[in-house]
Amino acid sequence: MKKIAVVAFGGNALQRGNEAGTIEQQEQHTLETCERLIGLLRIGYELVITHGNGPQVGNILLRNEAGYNQYKIPKMPLDICVADSQGGIGYMIDRQMRNALSKTELNKNVVALITEVLVDINDSAFNTPTKPIGPFYIKEEADLLAKANGWVFKEDPRKRGWRKVVASPKPIDVINKQVVKDLVEKGHIVISAGGGGIPVYYHEDTKYLEAIEAVIDKDLATALLAREINADKFFIVTDVPKVCLNFNKPDQKVIDHLTVAEARKYYNEGEFPAGSMGPKILAAVDFVESTGKEAIITNEEEIEKDNCGTRITLN
């Protein structure tokens, strides 16, 4: 049996926070990250890659608004925008992975899949939308849009305006998991579950598949996919080489290893915020508890090194 590594690209693997996010910048960062994954291929892992889409889908939503306001081009719903981002980012990773492979003797096919992820329509997350998406509005605009469309808005913590918020339900199944498993076991590099996947649900009476406006956490969706395809190792690529306690404080402490129990303890104590390391810790714990295997949180510069990152294990 071949070993399978699932690698979740964070936003930093594609775009730096201090950059404009031009396609040239994104392609360069993507190529650099793909080149560092060659080390995993060389030591015998087959690869499944997932990715975030925060800046990209935000730009797609801005184009939605601009196209409608100026030219009355009909707006596309969020599920179509997520699919749009999956296609564009998947293509970019596909091409740059091929470019990285071209510098080696390795012969691999690369394929990007549009991925739907099943959620529960009765998930309590739909009662309390929390995930901000799209552009900032002044309060008066937000109030009008909320009244006209039934949307929910919340003020940005940094006081940049008001943003629409949607639910972030728990992923319960990756629709095309068997396709991913079949492809990676045949030696192909698979790009899947971009942006956490497109949230869909089944109508109980007809089994009709329908999209719902929501955003699934990318790391949780990746952990689920990793479990479903029986991955041997789960890498979460972020913007720091290792997890830290007291992050960015004078007494910051770098962590090489965490047990599941320790990770949960620190999470419950507030060490890992919801908008930062928190979802990554929860995703790693979810994978390790379900499989008994190892999860690693690190950055793209370290991923090719032995004993990279913070390792989360059962014991």
Mean pLDDT for the stretch of residues 131-157: 92
Catalytic residue selected from 12, 21, 59, 161: 12
Q: What is the CATH code for 3-118+187-200+213-313?
A: 3.40.1160.10
Told to judge if 164 belongs to the known catalytic residues of this protein, a careful annotator would answer: no
Told to judge if 253 belongs to the known catalytic residues of this protein, a careful annotator would answer: no
Q: Which two tokens stand for residue 239?
A: 């913007």
Told to judge if 11 belongs to the known catalytic residues of this protein, a careful annotator would answer: yes
How far apart, in whole angstroms, are the C-alpha atoms of residue 202 and residue 103?
Answer: 45
Told to judge if 72 belongs to the known catalytic residues of this protein, a careful annotator would answer: no
Q: Would you mind telling me the total number of residues written for the chain in this entry?
A: 315
Catalytic residue selected from 164, 177, 181, 218: 218
Report pLDDT for 210.
Answer: 97
How far apart, in whole angstroms, are the C-alpha atoms of residue 229 and residue 2?
Answer: 12
Q: Are strands 3-9 and 233-238 parallel, antiparallel or unpaired?
A: parallel
pLDDT tens per residue, range 221-267: 999 999 999 999 999 999 899 999 999 999 999 999 999 999 999 99
| pTM metric for this prediction | 0.95
The domain ranges of the chain are 3-118+187-200+213-313
How far apart, in whole angstroms, are the C-alpha atoms of residue 104 and residue 125?
Answer: 46
Report the candidate in 15, 186, 21 with the shortest Cα–Cα distance to residue 111: 186
For 119, 255, 258, 307, the CA distances from 314, given in Å and listed in that order, are: 27, 16, 9, 17
Told to judge if 305 belongs to the known catalytic residues of this protein, a careful annotator would answer: no
pLDDT tens per residue, range 268-308: 999 999 878 999 999 999 999 999 999 999 999 999 888 89
Report pLDDT for 76.
Answer: 95
Report the candidate in 31, 42, 25 with the shortest Cα–Cα distance to residue 9: 31
Catalytic residue selected from 10, 11, 88, 134: 11
Range from 42-51, 75-84, 125-134 carrying the lowest mean pLDDT: 125-134
Catalytic residue selected from 181, 280, 299, 309: 280
Helix axes 260-268, 278-291, angle to 10 degrees: 150
CB-CB contact of 266 with 273 (8 Å): no
Residue bearing tokens 């830290």: 244
Catalytic residue selected from 108, 131, 170, 293: 131
* Residue 183, number of CB atoms within 10 A of its CB: 20
